[in-house]
A and B are shown apart, each in its own frame.
Chain A
Amino acid sequence: MEKELEETKPNSKLAQVNLKEEFESSGVDQILSELDDTLIGLKPVKTRIRETASLLLVDKAREKMGLMTESPTLHMSFSGNPGTGKTTVALKIADLLFRLGYVRKGHLVTVTRDDLVGQYIGHTAPKTKEVLKKAMGGVLFIDEAYYLYRPENERDYGQEAIEILLQVMENNRDDLVVVLAGYKDRMDKFFESNPGFRSRIAHHINFPDYSNDELLEIGEIMISDMNYKLNEKSREAFAEYIKLRRKQPHFANARSIRNAIDRIRLRQANRVFKTSKGPINSDVLSIIDEVDVRKSRVFSGGIDS
C-alpha cells in the first residue's frame, strides 16, 4: 500500500514557480524585516542571513521543479564575542528555517558542554542522544562548542559526544539543524582540529562587536522596554560609561550593557527611596539621573562585571 499512498502525494514536478509569491506567503519576508527592525547593527550578519534565506528559497523551488535531489546541509557556526546577538539570531534562524520548510517544528534548544557530556562511563551517549532528540524538528544551539574537545585529556568523554553529534548531523540532516557558537579564534582552532565538523558545516557567520553608538542605542531600547527614561545628562554619562567599560576586561557587548542597566536601576531605587518625602509620581520612579550612572565603579577605575 506504501506505493499507492505515495502516488497520491503532490510530488508531481511543477513547471513554474513564482519566487516572489513563495517569499511572501512563507512569511520569510516578515522575519527578515523583523531582524532588521529589532536588531541594532550586525550589518554583515543580516546580509549573510538574507543571502542564505534566498539560497534556501531557491533550493526549495528547485526541489519542487525536480532540479534538487539532495537536501542541503544547513548546519552553521556563529562566531563572535559574547553579547553580540548569537542566541537571538539563532532563534530567528530557527523560525526562518521553519517557515521555509527546512525544519518541521522550529524550536530552539540551547545547550553547553555540560548538557551533552556525562560524568562517568556510559553516561555521555544517552545524554547527548536525549538532547539531540529534544532538538529534532528544530535547531540545536551549542554554545562554546569548543569545550567539547579537550585534546589534553585523552579519556575525555567529550569525544564521545562529538562522535554522536557528527553521526546525527550527517544521518538526520532532515531532522535537525545544529548551530555551533563561540569566540572566533577558539572556533577556528576547534574546526582545525575537528575536520569532521568543518566539512559538515555549510554556513559560517561572523558576529562583529557593536560600536559604542550601537551599544548606546541598544541600552536605550532596553531602558525604555523596562519603562525607564534617560535624561540628557544621564544619556551623556551612559555614553561615557560605554567608552570606559569597553576598555576593561570581560567586556561582553550587549550583555555588559544589560548588567550595567541592572545596577543603574538598583542605584536609582536607592536614591529615590532615600530622598523621597511624601507622595511621588511615576516620573520620579522612571527617570534615571546622571548620578545613578556616574556612581559606577567604572568611572573611578574600578571594574564592572
Chain B
Amino acid sequence: MPDGNKKLDAKARYSAGVLEYKKMGYWEPDYQPKETDVIALFRITPQEGVDPVEAAAAVAGESSTATWTVVWTDRLTACEKYRAKAYRVDPTPNNPNEYFAYIAYELDLFEPGSIANLTASIIGNVFGFKPLKALRLEDMRMPVAYVKTFQGPATGIVVERERLNCYGRPLLGATVKPKLGLSGRNYGRVVYEALKGGLDFTKDDENINSQPFMHWRDRFLYCMEAVNRASAATGEVKGTYLNVTAGTMEEMYKRAEFAKELGSVIVMIDLVIGYTAIQSMAKWARDNDMILHLHRAGHGTYTRQKSHGVSFRVIAKWMRLAGVDHIHAGTVVGKLEGDPSTTKGFYDILREEYNEVALENGVFFDQDWASLNKVMPVASGGIHAGQMHQLVHYLGEDVVLQFGGGTIGHPQGIEAGATANRVALEAMVYARNAGRDYLAEGPTILAEAARTCTPLKQALDVWKGVTFDYASTDAPDFVPTTSVS
C-alpha cells in the first residue's frame, strides 16, 4: 500500500484543515466486514485526476460521518465505529474509468425499520458530490439483524395464493387501457370482460388516481361490481388493483379504507409516493388483510443508466423490506428494459429465502432474508400469449403476467383476449409438468392448444412476430473469470 493511503495518528488527524478522506479513516483495506454491517457496492466514476481509492473513501465519508473539513467534535463520539469504511476497490471489467467500491456501514448508523433513514445516508448528499463524475449504487447486503427490524411484505406469495385460491401457475392480469380518459362506468366494463374471460386480476394504471374524467369513488364502485360479477360467473376469486395513490397520506388511507369496505382483496400504490408512505401503506395492508401492489412509476429515472443512479436490484431489496406484495420487475421479452440475467437477479431477490452471490445476474452479495415474506414480481409491458413459453421459462411460476394490450387489443374483444392468455398459460404449465421441453416446443404447444381454442388461435395470428429486440442498457458487468469473493 502506498504511504499516501495510510491513516494518521490522532494529532495529525484532528488538526484543523482539509484532509484526504482516505487519511481520515474512510479507507481501510484490511477491514473485515462484520455480520451486522450493512454493505453497499457503488460503481464510481472519479473526475479526471482523482485517485479511485480517494474517491471510494470520499463516498464512504460523505454517506456516513464526514464533512468536507476536519471537525474536532468527532472526538466526542466513538467516531471510529461510525465511520463507514471503504475496504475494497476493483476496476470494473468493462470500463477503465469506472470502479466498484465496497463500503461497510456500522448497523448503529441506521434507525431500525426505516427505509427513509437508510436511503438518506446511502443515497443522500453523496450523489451530488463534485469529485465524482457519476455514482451508482449497485447492490447492498442487509444484515439479518437489520432485516428483522422490517415488517416485510404484508401478505407474501404463499398467503396471497391461499387467499386467491390459485396455485400451480403464474397469475394473470391486465392493465385497463386506455390509460386515461375512460369514465367509471366504461372502465368497469373492461374489468368485467377481462376477469370473466379468465384473468385473475385487472389493474389501474399508475397515473389513474382521481381526475376530472373519473373520480376515484366512481372507479372503485364500478370496478367492484365488475369483480363480483366476474367472480360469480367463474366461481373464482378475482381482484382489481385499486390505485389509492393520492396527494396526502390521509387521502390514501381514506381510499384504501373504501376499497376494503367494498370487499376488494388488493389495493395499489405508486413508487413515487415515497418510501415512508410505502411503509405506512404496507403496515395498513398487514393490519387489514389486503394485498399491496406497487407500481414502480419513476424508477427509470435513476435505475436505467449504468453509470449513475440506483440499480433496480437495490430498489427491489428496499421494497421487500418496506413490505409491498407485488412489484413490477421486468419481462425479459416485453417492451421495457431488462436483459434475462439482470432480470433473474431481480426476481431472485424478490422471491428467494436466501440469495447467493451471482455475479452473472448482478447479485454481488449473499443475502439472508431471515424468513421475510416473499414479493410476487409482476411482468408487464408489451407481452402477449405467443411468448408464453418464454415467459414461463424466464419468469417461473410465482409471478403475475400482465397482458394489457395483449388482452384488450384482441380482435374478438377483451373476454376473448383474456381466454387466449389463460388457455396459453395452462397449456404451457401442463406441458412443462408433463415433462416436455416446453421452451423449444413452445410454438407447437400453443398451436396444439389453439386447435380447441379459437381466441388463442386469433391471438397467435395477430401478434405473431411481435418482439422487442433491443440491446439492454443495464446488463451486468461481469467477466466469468473474475474471482468471486
For chain B residues 422-470, which have a beta carbon within 8 Å of chain A?
A: 427, 444, 448-449, 451-452
Distance to closest chain A CB from B452 (angstroms):
5
For chain A residues 1-25, which have a beta carbon within 8 Å of chain B?
A: 1, 4-5, 8
Q: How many angstroms from the CA of A114 to the CA of B452 in the assembled complex?
A: 51
Distance to closest chain B CB from A4 (angstroms):
5
Q: What are 7 A-to-B residue pairs whose CB atoms are below 8 Å?
A: A1-B448, A1-B449, A1-B451, A4-B448, A4-B451, A4-B452, A8-B448
Q: How many angstroms from the CA of A1 to the CA of B426 in the assembled complex?
A: 12
Q: How many angstroms from the CA of A8 to the CA of B448 in the assembled complex?
A: 10
**Beta-carbon nearest neighbor of B449 in chain A:** A1
Q: Which residues of A contact B451 (CB under 8 A)?
A: 1, 4
Q: Which residues of B contact A4 (CB under 8 A)?
A: 448, 451-452
**Beta-carbon nearest neighbor of A5 in chain B:** B448
Q: Which residues of A contact B427 (CB under 8 A)?
A: 1
New A-B contacts (7) at CB < 8 Å, excluding given A1-B448, A5-B448, A8-B448? A1-B427, A1-B449, A1-B451, A1-B452, A4-B451, A4-B452, A8-B444
Distance to closest chain A CB from B288 (angstroms):
42
Q: Which residues of A contact B449 (CB under 8 A)?
A: 1
Distance to closest chain A CB from B456 (angstroms):
11
Q: Which residues of A contact B448 (CB under 8 A)?
A: 1, 4-5, 8
Q: How many angstroms from the CA of A4 to the CA of B452 in the assembled complex?
A: 9
**Beta-carbon nearest neighbor of A2 in chain B:** B452
Distance to closest chain A CB from B440 (angstroms):
13
Q: Which residues of A contact B444 (CB under 8 A)?
A: 8
Q: Which residues of A contact B452 (CB under 8 A)?
A: 1, 4
Q: How many angstroms from the CA of A1 to the CA of B424 in the assembled complex?
A: 13
**Beta-carbon nearest neighbor of B436 in chain A:** A8
Contact mask B222-258 → A, CB, 8 Å, 1/0? 0000000000000000000000000000000000000
**Beta-carbon nearest neighbor of A7 in chain B:** B448
Q: How many angstroms from the CA of A1 to the CA of B427 in the assembled complex?
A: 10
Q: Which residues of B contact A8 (CB under 8 A)?
A: 444, 448
Q: How many angstroms from the CA of A21 to the CA of B94 in the assembled complex?
A: 53
**Beta-carbon nearest neighbor of A1 in chain B:** B452
For chain B residues 373-429, which have a beta carbon within 8 Å of chain A?
A: 427
Q: How many angstroms from the CA of A8 to the CA of B434 in the assembled complex?
A: 13
Distance to closest chain B CB from A1 (angstroms):
5
Q: How many angstroms from the CA of A4 to the CA of B444 in the assembled complex?
A: 11
Distance to closest chain B CB from A53 (angstroms):
28
Q: Which 10 A-B pairs have the closest CB atoms?
A: A4-B448, A1-B452, A4-B451, A1-B449, A1-B448, A5-B448, A1-B451, A8-B448, A8-B444, A4-B452
**Beta-carbon nearest neighbor of B453 in chain A:** A1
**Beta-carbon nearest neighbor of B441 in chain A:** A8
Q: How many angstroms from the CA of A298 to the CA of B477 in the assembled complex?
A: 79
Q: How many angstroms from the CA of A4 to the CA of B451 in the assembled complex?
A: 8
Q: How many angstroms from the CA of A196 to the CA of B370 in the assembled complex?
A: 60
Distance to closest chain A CB from B484 (angstroms):
40
Contact mask A107-138 → B, CB, 8 Å, 1/0? 00000000000000000000000000000000
Q: How many angstroms from the CA of A4 to the CA of B449 in the assembled complex?
A: 9
**Beta-carbon nearest neighbor of B447 in chain A:** A4
Q: How many angstroms from the CA of A185 to the CA of B449 in the assembled complex?
A: 59
Distance to closest chain B CB from A125 (angstroms):
31
Distance to closest chain A CB from B164 (angstroms):
26
Distance to closest chain A CB from B312 (angstroms):
39
Distance to closest chain B CB from A8 (angstroms):
7
For chain A residues 214-249, which have a beta carbon within 8 Å of chain B?
A: none
Contact mask A25-49 → B, CB, 8 Å, 1/0? 0000000000000000000000000
Q: How many angstroms from the CA of A4 to the CA of B427 in the assembled complex?
A: 12
Q: Which residues of B contact A5 (CB under 8 A)?
A: 448
Distance to closest chain A CB from B205 (angstroms):
35
Distance to closest chain B CB from A134 (angstroms):
23
Q: How many angstroms from the CA of A8 to the CA of B452 in the assembled complex?
A: 16
Q: How many angstroms from the CA of A1 to the CA of B446 in the assembled complex?
A: 11
Distance to closest chain A CB from B450 (angstroms):
10
Distance to closest chain A CB from B455 (angstroms):
14
Q: How many angstroms from the CA of A5 to the CA of B452 in the assembled complex?
A: 12
Distance to closest chain A CB from B441 (angstroms):
9
Q: How many angstroms from the CA of A5 to the CA of B448 in the assembled complex?
A: 7
Distance to closest chain B CB from A135 (angstroms):
23
Distance to closest chain A CB from B448 (angstroms):
5
Contact mask A183-217 → B, CB, 8 Å, 1/0? 00000000000000000000000000000000000
Q: How many angstroms from the CA of A8 to the CA of B436 in the assembled complex?
A: 11
Distance to closest chain B CB from A91 (angstroms):
27
Distance to closest chain B CB from A2 (angstroms):
10
Q: How many angstroms from the CA of A1 to the CA of B444 in the assembled complex?
A: 13
Distance to closest chain B CB from A5 (angstroms):
7
Q: How many angstroms from the CA of A212 to the CA of B193 in the assembled complex?
A: 84
Contact mask B3-26 → A, CB, 8 Å, 1/0? 000000000000000000000000
Q: How many angstroms from the CA of A5 to the CA of B449 in the assembled complex?
A: 9
Distance to closest chain A CB from B451 (angstroms):
5
**Beta-carbon nearest neighbor of B431 in chain A:** A5
Distance to closest chain A CB from B435 (angstroms):
12
**Beta-carbon nearest neighbor of A4 in chain B:** B448
Distance to closest chain A CB from B437 (angstroms):
12
Distance to closest chain B CB from A66 (angstroms):
24
Q: How many angstroms from the CA of A8 to the CA of B451 in the assembled complex?
A: 14
Contact mask A166-183 → B, CB, 8 Å, 1/0? 000000000000000000
Q: How many angstroms from the CA of A5 to the CA of B433 in the assembled complex?
A: 14
Q: How many angstroms from the CA of A4 to the CA of B456 in the assembled complex?
A: 16
Distance to closest chain B CB from A156 (angstroms):
44
Distance to closest chain A CB from B422 (angstroms):
14
Distance to closest chain B CB from A177 (angstroms):
24
For chain B residues 27-57, which have a beta carbon within 8 Å of chain A?
A: none
Distance to closest chain A CB from B408 (angstroms):
26
Q: How many angstroms from the CA of A221 to the CA of B452 in the assembled complex?
A: 64
Q: How many angstroms from the CA of A4 to the CA of B447 in the assembled complex?
A: 10
Q: How many angstroms from the CA of A1 to the CA of B450 in the assembled complex?
A: 9
Q: Which residues of B contact A1 (CB under 8 A)?
A: 427, 448-449, 451-452
Contact mask B261-274 → A, CB, 8 Å, 1/0? 00000000000000
For chain A residues 39-70, which have a beta carbon within 8 Å of chain B?
A: none
Distance to closest chain A CB from B235 (angstroms):
22
Distance to closest chain A CB from B434 (angstroms):
8
Q: How many angstroms from the CA of A158 to the CA of B400 in the assembled complex?
A: 54
Distance to closest chain A CB from B314 (angstroms):
45
Q: How many angstroms from the CA of A8 to the CA of B437 in the assembled complex?
A: 13
Distance to closest chain B CB from A172 (angstroms):
21
Q: How many angstroms from the CA of A8 to the CA of B447 in the assembled complex?
A: 12
Q: How many angstroms from the CA of A4 to the CA of B448 in the assembled complex?
A: 7
Q: How many angstroms from the CA of A236 to the CA of B389 in the assembled complex?
A: 72
Distance to closest chain B CB from A3 (angstroms):
9
Distance to closest chain B CB from A25 (angstroms):
20
Distance to closest chain A CB from B171 (angstroms):
23
